C-alpha cells in the first residue's frame, strides 16, 4: 500500500503486519475483520454514519448484481485497460466513491488479465458500503473508509482514478494523480432513466451536466464515450431497488413513488456519459 498516507499527520503509512497500518509518528490503524481499513477520522465526519445507508447499499448491490448496468462497467474496464497498457509497474489506481464495489471489482478482475503489478484502492465515506465491498473481494482491492475530498493518498501517486456517478473534486483529484495521470468520470446523460422520471414528475427538467466545465482548470479532456441502451426492469422490487440508488428517491413525492411501485415491469433507458481527462 505504497500510496497511503496517515490521515492525522500525512506521513507515509506502512503495513507493519497484515492487520495494521502505522506511520512514523506511531499513528496506527487496524484492519477490520471484514478486511478494510477505516481512515476516516471521527472529527472529519459530518454525521454519525456518512454516505449510503445499509438499506441503500443492499438495494444497490442487489440491483447491480443483476447485470443491468454491465455495459457501463465493461466500457469503463476497456478504457482503463487501454489507458494503463503502457504505464510503468507497479501501477497505482483508485476508485473514488466506490460504493459497494461492483464497478471496482469488475475493473480489478479485468486488469488482472494484463498480468501487471498494481495496487488498487476502493475509497468510500460509507462504512456500510465498504463492508459490502469487502465481501466481494479481499485480494485485488484495498478497501478504505475515507473521504474523497481529503483522501489518505500521497501527492502525485496514482496513475489512474475513477469517479463514477458521484461528486467531482477537481483539486483533490489533481493532487493525488501523477503528472501524466488520467481520470475517468461517468455521469448521467439527458435521457438517463427518462421513463422513470416521466412517472415521478409532472414536468421533466433538463439535467445536462458537463464534467469538462467542472474540471477544466486542472484537467484536459482526452476522450469521451456514450453508453446508451434500453433494458427491462422485471419486477416492482427491482424498480424499488433502482429508485433507492438515485436522488429521485428523496425528491419524488410518496404518491408518485407509490404510482411507480405499482408497475411490475418497466423498460428503462440507460444513458451514461464517460469522459477521460488528463492531469494538466
Structure confidence by residue, pLDDT tens digits, 30-81? 999 999 999 999 876 667 778 888 999 999 999 999 999 999 999 999 999 9
Domains along the sequence of the chain with CATH: 14-191+206-230+271-279 (3.40.50.150)
Ranges of residues in the chain whose predicted pLDDT is under 50: none
Q: Does residue 42 contact residue 125 with C-beta atoms inside 8 Å?
A: no
Q: CA-based diameter of the chain, in Å?
A: 58
- Long-range residue pairs from 39-48, CB within 8 A, at least 24 positions apart, any chain: 39/4, 39/7, 39/144, 39/145, 39/146, 39/152, 40/7, 40/125, 40/127, 40/145, 40/146, 40/147, 41/7, 41/8, 44/7, 44/147, 44/150
Q: Does residue 188 contact residue 271 with C-beta atoms inside 8 Å?
A: yes
> 34: exposed, middle or buried (C-beta count within 10 Å: 0-12, 13-18, 19+)?
middle
Residue 125, pLDDT score: 95
Residue 18, pLDDT score: 84
Closest CA to 219 of 188, 177, 186, 156: 177
**Pairing relation of β-strands 266-279 and 219-233?**
antiparallel
Peptide bond into 90 cis (omega under 30): yes
Residue 248, pLDDT score: 94
Distance (Å) of CA 177 to CA 94, 116, 156, 157, 185: 10, 19, 4, 6, 14
Taking phi first (over 0 means left), then psi (-120 to 50 degrees means alpha), and beta for anything else, what does residue 99 get? left
Residue 221, pLDDT score: 98
Residue 23, pLDDT score: 97
The helix, strand and coil proportions of the chain, stated in percent and rounded to the nearest 5, come to 30, 30, 40
Task: Determine the number of helices (DSSP H) and then strands (DSSP E) in the chain.
Answer: 10, 11
Q: How far apart are CA 29 and CA 117, in angstroms?
A: 25
Residue 49, pLDDT score: 74
Task: Quote the distance between the C-alpha of residue 248 and its chain's center.
Answer: 19
- Which helix (H) or strand (E) segment holds residue 195: the answer is helix 194-200
Q: How far apart are CA 248 and CA 87, in angstroms?
A: 40
Radius of gyration for the chain, computed over Cα atoms and rounded to the nearest angstrom = 19
Q: How far apart are CA 121 and CA 200, in angstroms?
A: 36
> 18: exposed, middle or buried (C-beta count within 10 Å: 0-12, 13-18, 19+)?
exposed
Name the residue with cell 408518485. 256
Amino acid at each position: 500500500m505504497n500510496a497511503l498516507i496517515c490521515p492525522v499527520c500525512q506521513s507515509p503509512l506502512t503495513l507493519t503486519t497484515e492487520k495494521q497500518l502505522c506511520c512514523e509518528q506511531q499513528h496506527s490503524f487496524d484492519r477490520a475483520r471484514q478486511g478494510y481499513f477505516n481512515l476516516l477520522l471521527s472529527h472529519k465526519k459530518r454525521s454519525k454514519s456518512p454516505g449510503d445507508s445499509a438499506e441503500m447499499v443492499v438495494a444497490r448491490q442487489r440491483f447491480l448484481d443483476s447485470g443491468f448496468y454491465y455495459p457501463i462497467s465493461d466500457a469503463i474496464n476497456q478504457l482503463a485497460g487501454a489507458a494503463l497498457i503502457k504505464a510503468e509497474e507497479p501501477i497505482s489506481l483508485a476508485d473514488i466513491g466506490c460504493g459497494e464495489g461492483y464497478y471496482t471489482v469488475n475493473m480489478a478482475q479485468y486488469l488482472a488479465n494484463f498480468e501487471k503489478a498494481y495496487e488498487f484502492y476502493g475509497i468510500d465515506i460509507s462504512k456500510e458500503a465498504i463492508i459490502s465491498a469487502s465481501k466481494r473481494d479481499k485480494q485485488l482491492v484495498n478497501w478504505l473508509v475515507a473521504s474523497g475530498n481529503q483522501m489518505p493518498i500521497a501527492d502525485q501517486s496514482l496513475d489512474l482514478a475513477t469517479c463514477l456517478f458521484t461528486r467531482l473534486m477537481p483539486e483533490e483529484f489533481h493532487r493525488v494523480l501523477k503528472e501524466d495521470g488520467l481520470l475517468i468520470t461517468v455521469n448521467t446523460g439527458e435521457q438517463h432513466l427518462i421513463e422513470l422520471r416521466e412517472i415521478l414528475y409532472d414536468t421533466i427538467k433538463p439535467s445536462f451536466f458537463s464534467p469538462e466545465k467542472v474540471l477544466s482548470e486542472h484537467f484536459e479532456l482526452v476522450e469521451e464515450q456514450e453508453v446508451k441502451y434500453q433494458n427491462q426492469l422485471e419486477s416492482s422490487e427491482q424498480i424499488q431497488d433502482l429508485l433507492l440508488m438515485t436522488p429521485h428517491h428523496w425528491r419524488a413525492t410518496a404518491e408518485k413513488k407509490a404510482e411507480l411501485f405499482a408497475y411490475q415491469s418497466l423498460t428503462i433507458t440507460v444513458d451514461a456519459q464517460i469522459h477521460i481527462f488528463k492531469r494538466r
